[in-house]
Amino acid sequence: MAPAPAHWDLAVVGAGPAGAATALGALRAAPELRVALLDRAVFPRDKACGDGVAPHVLDLLAGVGVTGLLDDRVPVGRLRLGRGGLAAERPMARPVWVVPRRVLDARLVDAAVAAGAHLLCHRVRDLRQRAGAVVLDGELSAAVVVGADGAHSVVRRALGRPRGPMALALRGYAPVGSGRRGVQVIEFGTRHQPSYAWSFDRGDGLANVGYGEFLHQDRPTPTRAHLLERLEALLPGATEGGRHWAGHHLPLSTARRRLPTGRVLLVGDAACLVNPLTGEGIHYAVATGIAAGRAAAAALRDGRPEQAGQRYARATRPILLPHLRHTALAARLARSAHVLEAGLRASAADQRVFDDFVELGLARGRLTPAVALGLGRAFVACLRPSGRPQEPA
């Protein structure tokens, strides 16, 4: 007879920011829980990403007892947005950090382990729901399982959940280009929408540079050569001296969000929570991870683990749904070059509009009245007498 699977109160599949945050949220609420944090990699390990960490992420982590995480890193206080000769560069309301995931993820895992999580090197391939438990690979069982296993989530597939729209990006590290020190640079594409190239100064002489674009069913998947060519075209010199190039898929969020309601929860990229405007996903990962951990802890405390998903859905609905609807609308509008350029003009003219756009792209913002008014003014200002939008010089 095969040995019985090891049993846990909570098993978290994936130990990136979403998974570590889940463990932290659960253990902050109930330190006595037996929490398994499963990942196929040994930390520290690299992860393809833009590496941007919004200040909101640190706010959330402070709420589960993790402080000083990035005190030794250099914050970036300015953001430059551009397209085809138009540009808006301003200070951000709060600085951001550019931290390689090899560093960030290892620190979050260390914090989760310090809080009481058990880190296990294990690649999950199969999930089965049984009476009273969820079994992983026939080896491990848990009262509640959280899928934090990224864009190609095994847990999401096991639940039969659709993936939704995707983007593809290529990231590398290169010496910071001239005129790009101390600033995050985003240059929107002029061919396919939505798309953009970026250069994010890490503060140590290197920048995270890359290019990404939305994947369309009627176009072939972009090659590595194409992504590098577009990056260099939009940000000349950005690829010079570049190393550690890695591609990654981005499962973009939409206005519709249906979460599983039982013992198996999805967070971060596994839940298709990536901002369709900017590709930002770390804030969503940490926010939903902490919420899922707290929901699991509450359900376990009440002896109703099968209600973990319902608790999680209730906790995140008022926070995420309005924001996701606004980002979905903004992403559709941004497919129009004229709307995108009006947004850049409005941001260059008004700090409030700039700040609201940053908030919409980073974390939990919405399309505010200031943004609507700024867009309207910018759009009217560039109209020709014929009533058609005037192309920039």
Q: What does the domain layout of the chain look like in residue ranges? A: 6-74+100-164+254-320, 166-251, 327-381
Instruction: Give the pair of three-digit tokens for residue 53.
Output: 């960490």
Query: If pLDDT is split at 50, 70 and 90, which confidence band does 259 have?
Result: confident
- Per-residue model confidence as pLDDT tens digits over 276-296: 989 999 999 999 999 999 999
| Tens digit of each residue's pLDDT (9 = 90 or more) over 205-249 | 999 999 999 998 878 889 999 999 999 999 999 999 999 999 999
Tell me the residue type at 179.
Answer: G
Name residues whose C-beta falls within 8 Å of residue 189's C-beta, 6 or more positions apart in sequence.
83, 195, 196, 197, 211, 213, 230, 234
Determine contact, residues 36/11, Cβ cutoff 8 Å. Answer: yes
3-state secondary structure of 179: coil
Residues, the chain: 393
Token pair in block for residue 33: 């829980």
How far is residue 348's CA from residue 83's CA, in Å, rounded to a whole number?
13
144 Ramachandran zone, left/alpha/beta (phi>0; psi -120 to 50): beta
For the cut 90, the answer to whether the pLDDT of residue 256 exceeds it is no
Nearby residues of 68 by Cβ (< 8 Å), 6 or more positions away: none
Query: In 10 A of CB 285, how many CB atoms?
Result: 29
- Position 320 scores a pLDDT of 87
CB of 283 closer than 8 Å to CB of 54: yes
Residue 358, pLDDT score: 94
Q: What is the mean pLDDT of the chain?
A: 92
pLDDT at position 321: 87
pLDDT band of 390, cuts 50, 70, 90: very low
Architecture of domain 6-74+100-164+254-320: 3-Layer(bba) Sandwich (3.50)
Q: How far apart are CA 296 and CA 12, in angstroms?
A: 11
In this structure, which CATH number among 3.30.1220.10, 2.40.50.70, 3.40.50.150, 3.30.9.10 belongs to the domain 166-251?
A: 3.30.9.10
Which residues on neighbouring strands pair with residue 35, listed in sequence order?
10
pTM attached to this predicted model: 0.94
